[in-house]
Structure 1
Amino acid sequence: MHSDHRNTDQKHILTMRYPAAWWRSQWREAMPSGNGCIGASVYGGVYEETILLNHELLWRKGSTPELPDVSAILPEVRRLLAEGEAEEADGVLVKCLRTSGYEPKIASPLPLGDLKIYMPQHSAFRSYERRLNMATGEVTVRWTVGETAYERSLFVSRTDDSVVLAIRKQGPLALEATMTFQPHNPEDTRRPGTAYIPEAPESKRDGHYLYYAARNNDGSDFGAVARIVNRSGTLGANEREYSIKDAESLLVIIRLFPSGKREEQWERLTFELRDLAADYEMLLARHASEHGRLFHASSFDLRAQGRERSNEELLMEAYRGEVPDALMEKMWAYGRYLLISASREKGQPCHLYGLWAGDYDAVWAFHMVNENLQMMYWQALSGNMSGLMLAVFDYMDSLMDDFRTNARLLYGCRGIYIPAPTAPDSGLLKHLQPHIVHWTGGAGWVSQLYYDYYLHTGDIAFLRERAIPFMREAAWFYRDFFILGENGFFVSSPSNSPENTPGNYWKGPGHSMGTTVNATMDFAIAKELMRNLADGLRAIGESEEEENQWRAMLERIPPYQINEDGAVREWMHPDYDDNYHHRHQSHAYPVFPGIEVTRQNDPALFDAFVQAIRKRLVIGLKEQSGWSLAHMANNYARMGEGDLALECLDILGRSCVMNNLMTLHNDWRGMGIGVDMDWAPVQLDANMGWTAAVQEMLLFSVPGELHLLPALPTRWIRGSVGPLLARGGVQCELSWDREEQMVDVTLRTCSGRQAVRLILPDMVARIQEFEFRPGQPVNVKLDERPRRLRLELKPLS
Structure 2
Amino acid sequence: MLKFKSLRLLIFSTLCCATTNAQDSNLQLWYNKPAEKWTEALPIGNGYLGAMIFGGVENDRIQFNEATLWSDGPRDYNRKGAYLYLDPIRKLLAEGKQKEAEELAQEHFMGMRSNEEGYEARKKEWLVKVKGDVIINSSQWNNAQWKDMQLPTLNGWETAGLEGLDGAVWFKTTFTLPDSWQGKDLLISLGKIRDLDITYINGKQVGSTEDITANRLYTIPASILKKGTNEIEIQVINYFDKGGFAGTKGDREIFAVYPKERNGKESVKLNPVWQYWVQNDDAPAMPRYQADYQPFGELQLKTSVANATEYRRTLDIANAVSTVTYKSGNVVYTKEYLANYPESIIAIQLKSSAKGRLNYNASFTTVHKNYRIHAIDGHTLALDVAVKNGAMNGTAYLYVDNTNGKVEVTDKEIKISNSDEATLYLIAATNFKNYRDVSADANAICKAKLVSIKKLVYEKVKAAHIADYKRYFDKFSLQLSNGAANAGVPTDERIKQFSITKDPALVTLYVQYARYLMLSSSRQGTNAANLQGIWNDLLTPPWGSKYTTNINLEMNYWPSESLNLSACTQPLFKLIKEVAEAGKETAKEYYNAPGFVLHHNTDQWRGTVPINASNHGIWVTGGAWLSTHLWEHYLFTQDKSFLQNEAYPVMKAASDFFVHFLVKDETTGWLISTPSNSPEHGGLVAGPTMDHQIIRELFSNTIEAAKVLGTDESFRKLLQQKYDSIAPNQIGKYGQLQEWLQDKDDSSDTHRHVSHLWGVYPGKDITWSNEKMMKAARQSLLYRGDDGTGWSIAWKVNLWARFKDGDHAMKMLQKLLSDATAGKGSESGGVYPNLFDAHPPFQIDGNFGGAAGVAEMLVQSHMGYIELLPALPSSLQSGIIKGVRARGNFTINMQWENGKLKRAGITSNAGNNCVVKCGDKTVTFKTVKGRTYSLNQALILIQTK
Q: Which residue of 2 aligns with 1:777?
A: 922
Q: Which residue of 2 aligns with 1:356?
A: 535
Of the three residues 16, 27, 30, the one matched with 1:12 is: 27
Distance 2:727 2:30 in 1: 53
Other structure's SS at 1:210 match: strand
Contact residue 422 and residue 430 of structure 1 kept, 8 A:
no
Q: Which residue of 2 aligns with 1:108?
A: 292
Distance 1:351 1:73 in 2: 32
Q: Which residue of 2 aligns with 1:273?
A: 450
Letter in 2 for 1:36: G
Greater shift in the superposed pair: 288-297 or 91-100: 91-100
Contact residue 214 and residue 222 of structure 1 kept, 8 A:
yes
Q: Which residue of 1 aligns with 2:814?
A: 650
Greater shift in the superposed pair: 212-221 or 628-637: 212-221
Aligned length: 725
Shift in CA distance, 405/694, structure 1 to aligned 2, threshold 3 Å: same
Q: Deviations over 1:357-391 (max 9, x none)?
A: 01111112110110001111000001111121111
Contact residue 221 and residue 262 of structure 1 kept, 8 A:
no
Contact residue 611 and residue 618 of structure 2 kept, 8 A:
no
Q: Which residue of 1 aligns with 2:902?
A: 743
Q: Which residue of 2 aligns with 1:454?
A: 634
Q: Which residue of 1 aligns with 2:89?
A: 77
Percent of residue pairs identical: 26
Deviation, structure 1 residue 645? 0.8
Distance 1:362 1:323 in 2: 37
Deviation, structure 1 residue 544? 1.5
Deviation, structure 1 residue 157? 0.6
Shift in CA distance, 321/290, structure 1 to aligned 2, threshold 3 Å: closer
- 2:616 is equivalent to residue 433 of structure 1: no
Q: Which residue of 2 aligns with 1:51?
A: 62
- 2:465 is equivalent to residue 287 of structure 1: yes
Of the three residues 237, 240, 247, the one matched with 2:419 is: 247
Distance 1:267 1:305 in 2: 49
Please report the TM-score for the alignment, with normalisation by the length of structure 1. Answer: 0.87
- 2:821 is equivalent to residue 641 of structure 1: no
Other structure's SS at 2:26 match: helix
Q: Deviations over 1:639-682 (max 9, x none)?
A: 1111111111111211321111111113xxxxxxxxxxxxxx21
- 2:856 is equivalent to residue 696 of structure 1: yes
Distance 1:650 1:225 in 2: 43
- 2:924 is equivalent to residue 789 of structure 1: no
Distance 2:529 2:741 in 1: 34
Distance 2:798 2:584 in 1: 33
Letter in 1 for 2:384: A
Contact residue 515 and residue 565 of structure 2 kept, 8 A:
no
Q: Which residue of 1 aligns with 2:493?
A: 313
Letter in 2 for 1:493: T
Cα RMSD after superposing both structures:
2.4
Other structure's SS at 1:278 match: coil
What does residue range 594-613 of structure 1 map to in structure 2 within 5 Å?
594-599=763-768, 601-613=769-781
Letter in 2 for 1:747: I
Q: Deviations over 1:98-146 (max 9, x none)?
A: 799865431111111111110111x211011111111222111111101
Contact residue 49 and residue 344 of structure 2 kept, 8 A:
yes
Of the three residues 653, 660, 666, the one matched with 2:834 is: 660
Shift in CA distance, 238/389, structure 1 to aligned 2, threshold 3 Å: closer
Distance 1:202 1:430 in 2: 40
Greater shift in the superposed pair: 435-444 or 384-393: 435-444
Contact residue 868 and residue 917 of structure 2 kept, 8 A:
yes
Deviation, structure 1 residue 239? 4.2
Other structure's SS at 2:371 match: strand
Distance 1:575 1:236 in 2: 71
Greater shift in the superposed pair: 571-580 or 126-135: 571-580
Contact residue 890 and residue 908 of structure 2 kept, 8 A:
yes
Of the three residues 42, 46, 58, the one matched with 1:31 is: 42
Deviation, structure 1 residue 182? 2.0
Shift in CA distance, 588/66, structure 1 to aligned 2, threshold 3 Å: closer
Of the three residues 356, 370, 377, the one matched with 1:206 is: 377
Deviation, structure 1 residue 396? 1.8
Of the three residues 614, 619, 626, the one matched with 2:782 is: 614
Of the three residues 508, 531, 537, the one matched with 2:706 is: 537
Deviation, structure 1 residue 66? 5.2
What does residue range 342-741 of structure 1 map to in structure 2 within 5 Å?
342-364=521-543, 365-429=545-609, 431-486=611-666, 487-501=668-682, 514-573=683-742, 580-599=749-768, 601-617=769-785, 621=787, 624-654=788-818, 655=820, 656-666=830-840, 681-702=841-862, 704-738=864-898
Q: Which residue of 2 aligns with 1:158?
A: 341
Q: Which residue of 1 aligns with 2:262?
A: none
Q: Deviations over 1:209-254 (max 9, x none)?
A: 1111122233553121122111111334744211122111101112
- Stretches of structure 1 lacking an aligned partner (at least 5 in a row): 187-196, 502-513, 667-680, 762-774
Distance 1:214 1:693 in 2: 40
Distance 2:427 2:496 in 1: 38
Letter in 1 for 2:66: H
- Stretches of structure 2 lacking an aligned partner (at least 5 in a row): 1-19, 117-286, 433-437, 821-829, 940-945
Distance 2:575 2:391 in 1: 24
Contact residue 570 and residue 578 of structure 1 kept, 8 A:
no
Letter in 1 for 2:353: Q
Distance 1:299 1:108 in 2: 36
Other structure's SS at 2:684 match: coil
Letter in 1 for 2:450: L
Distance 1:552 1:164 in 2: 57
Larger Rg: 2
Other structure's SS at 1:555 match: helix
Please report the TM-score for the alignment, with normalisation by the length of structure 2. Answer: 0.74
Deviation, structure 1 residue 91? 2.4
Distance 2:491 2:460 in 1: 30
Distance 2:526 2:391 in 1: 23
Shift in CA distance, 126/792, structure 1 to aligned 2, threshold 3 Å: farther
Contact residue 859 and residue 870 of structure 2 kept, 8 A:
yes
Shift in CA distance, 180/742, structure 1 to aligned 2, threshold 3 Å: same
More strand by share: 2
Q: Which residue of 2 aligns with 1:677?
A: none
Contact residue 94 and residue 437 of structure 1 kept, 8 A:
no
Deviation, structure 1 residue 722? 2.5
Deviation, structure 1 residue 542? 1.0
Distance 1:98 1:59 in 2: 22
Contact residue 201 and residue 213 of structure 1 kept, 8 A:
yes
Distance 1:756 1:597 in 2: 23
Q: Deviations over 1:381-425 (max 9, x none)?
A: 011111211111111212333211111212222211112111111
Distance 2:524 2:386 in 1: 28
Deviation, structure 1 residue 29? 2.0
